[in-house]
Amino acid sequence: MHAASMLDQALTRLDEAARHLALDADVLEKLKYPRETTKVRLMIRMDDGSRKSFMAWRCRYDDTRGPTKGGIRFHPASTMEEVETLAFWMTFKCAVMNLPYGGGKGAVQVDPHTLSKAELERLSRAYVQAFSKIIGPDRDIPAPDVYTSSMIMGWMADEYASIVGEATPAVITGKPIALGGSLGRDDATARGGYYLVQRLAQQLGLESGARVAIQGFGNAGQNIARLFAADGYRIVTVSDSKGAVHNPSGLDVEKLMAAKRRESVTGLAGSDGVSILPADDLVSVDCELLVPAALEDMIHEGNAASVKARVILELANGPLTPEADEILATKNIVVLPDILANAGGVTVSYFEWVQNRGGYYWPVEDVHARLKTMMEREGDAIWVLARDKGITLRSAAYVHALSRLACAIEAHGTQQFFAS
Ligand SMILES: NC(=O)C1=CN([C@@H]2O[C@H](COP(=O)(O)OP(=O)(O)OC[C@H]3O[C@@H](n4cnc5c(N)ncnc54)[C@H](O)[C@@H]3O)[C@@H](O)[C@H]2O)C=CC1
Ligand SMILES: O=C(O)CCC(=O)C(=O)O
């Protein structure tokens, strides 16, 4: 991760989108900087009685369109710049989907795999204690991201309830169903991307039987593998942080998931024609559809030219650098951009928040139907905008979001209300 320049890189997409709109200078001034980022050193008791501290952040990038919304990441390489960049992307993602939210994000710099379950719970509760004045159902609403889960969201919701003295499920989404989570949030990130590909399959030249390579095999990667495999796509290569496995005839997704539960997808190597591949080679595998579903900057100046896929579905946030975008455009590779492609997660988080506030819970079929409608509506609008303006889908997604943000900034007038 090139964290130092991450936000500047992300802002180049804003500048590019601004060229296609007649915007007041105030709009760009407002969106160029995070509104507030809070940094806290969390201190927890370890199982052996010692104390250990961890750096943690929460950024509320922009709240013009509503309370800030975005996940919390537990990762050893997380930095403040990464959190601010992810929060910037959330601002645009929520606007792309027309959700009544601004953008936020949080992180703890930790490798959660080195903690016991009890230590992980203490760390999750410590995060909420530290940020309890920043989060809130009408202020800032966290959710899961890399290496956080529904179990962690449940602990966090429970901690918030004990701080404020009443159950407040709408403060956090991605919770366990038993604590007010929504049906369908578990696979929503992948499902949104899947609905988008289904909708655009003809224009993208994709059909059942197409070969798919997936980078990252967590929530987003596993669920997209399952959904595509059930639809007749052939999953030929999959990677996780330990390495990659490859089978040109197709990998068995259930077996991949079992191997991942044991430790890593690489555990499948040696069986049924499955070979190990250096993880870096995944990007250049022969396939029609490449799905980055891990971390930022995985496709860059150094490897973009080797991509053979016709289409890239960005389930990860920021997996392509701006330099990679340029190289891929010259190769006519279509990129379904993160702020649209992975927006299924936050969209079903929004449904969860709505259900929490209404106290009425929807069947999973309703969640799926509403998600499909929204992915298709915004996907179609962005496709048409890109075609009419002769720009990439990424630029069109930013133009689409920026015009909504600009309207909201203007509507607020000069004295924007800040809930503080
Ligand atoms: N969970 C969610 O609701 C959403 C997640 N995203 C994004 O999707 C991406 C993945 O997130 P999740 O699946 O939720 O995380 P996760 O924690 O469930 O899984 C992450 C996966 O990435 C793998 N990984 C880590 N480093 C890697 C590397 N260098 N090469 C290959 N694989 C590597 C891990 O082994 C793991 O399988 C992130 O960019 C996240 O921000 C985006 C929208 C929503
Ligand atoms: O579900 C949410 O609220 C946010 C998910 C997230 O962090 C993301 O879309 O990157």
Q: Which tokens sit at 81?
A: 């710049």
Question: Region 320-344: what's the mean pLDDT?
Answer: 97
Q: What is the pLDDT of residues 83-110, one digit of tens each?
A: 999 999 999 999 999 999 999 999 999 9
pTM given for the model: 0.97
Question: Region 120-139: what's the mean pLDDT?
Answer: 98
Q: Is the pLDDT of residue 252 over 80?
A: yes
Q: What is the pLDDT of residues 372-395, one digit of tens each?
A: 999 999 999 999 999 999 999 999
CA of 180 to the centre of ligand 2 (A): 17
Q: Which residue blocks in 75-149 are alpha helix, DSSP H?
A: 80-96, 117-131
Tell me, what's the pLDDT at 3?
Answer: 42
Cα Rg of the chain, angstroms: 21
Q: Does 148 belong to an annotated binding site?
A: no
Backbone angles phi, psi at 335, to 5 degrees: -110, 120
Question: Region 284-293: what's the mean pLDDT?
Answer: 98
Which residues' Cβ are closer than 6 Å to ligand 1?
Answer: 144-147, 189, 215-221, 239-241, 279, 293-295, 315-317, 342, 345
> Which of 60, 82, 145, 339 to probe ligand 2 with, by most ligand atoms within 8 A of CB?
145
> Which of 83, 346, 353, 367 to probe ligand 2 with, by most ligand atoms within 8 A of CB?
346
Q: Does 349 belong to an annotated binding site?
A: yes
Compute CA 213 distance to the chain's CA centroid, rounded to the nearest angstrom. 18
Tell me, what's the pLDDT at 363?
Answer: 98
ipTM over 0.90: yes
Q: Please give the number of the atom of ligand 2 that sits closest to the Cα of 69.
A: 3
Q: Please give the number of the atom of ligand 1 that sits closest to the Cα of 185.
A: 3
Backbone angles phi, psi at 189, to 5 degrees: -65, -50
Q: Is the pLDDT of residue 160 over 50?
A: yes
Question: Region 291-295: what's the mean pLDDT?
Answer: 98
Q: Is the pLDDT of residue 420 over 60?
A: no
Residue nearest to atom 38 of ligand 1 (CA): 316
Q: What percent of the chain has pLDDT over 90?
A: 94
Catalytic (active site) residue 105? yes
Q: Which domains does the chain have, with CATH numbers?
A: 35-179 (3.40.50.10860)
Tell me, what's the pLDDT at 418?
Answer: 53
Tell me, what's the pLDDT at 271?
Answer: 84
CA of 100 to the centre of ligand 2 (A): 14
Q: Is the pLDDT of residue 24 over 90?
A: no
Tell me, what's the pLDDT at 417?
Answer: 52
> What count of Cα atoms within 13 Å lies in the side-chain half-sphere of residue 180?
25
**pLDDT-based confidence at 416, cuts 50/70/90?**
low
The β-bridge partners of 231 are: none
Residue among 32, 39, 105, 372 flagged as catalytic = 105
**Which ligand is closest in space to the CA of residue 67?**
2
**Which ligand is closest in space to the CA of residue 317?**
1
CA of 344 to the centre of ligand 1 (A): 15
The DSSP annotation for 46-62 comes to -TTS-EEEEEEEEEEEE
Question: Region 229-247: what's the mean pLDDT?
Answer: 97
Among 31, 20, 133, which residue's Cα sits nearest to residue 391?
20
Question: Region 236-255: what's the mean pLDDT?
Answer: 97
Tell me, what's the pLDDT at 265?
Answer: 97
Q: Please give the number of the atom of ligand 1 that sits closest to the Cα of 318.
A: 39
Question: Region 256-282: what's the mean pLDDT?
Answer: 94
Q: Please give the number of the atom of ligand 1 that sits closest to the Cα of 315.
A: 8
d(CA 187, CA 174): 10
**Which ligand is closest in space to the CA of residue 91?**
2
Q: Is the pLDDT of residue 11 over 90?
A: yes
Report the length, in residues, of the chain: 420
> Which of 69, 141, 148, 173 to probe ligand 2 with, by most ligand atoms within 8 A of CB?
69
The β-bridge partners of 44 are: 52
Q: Which tokens sit at 267?
A: 């555990």
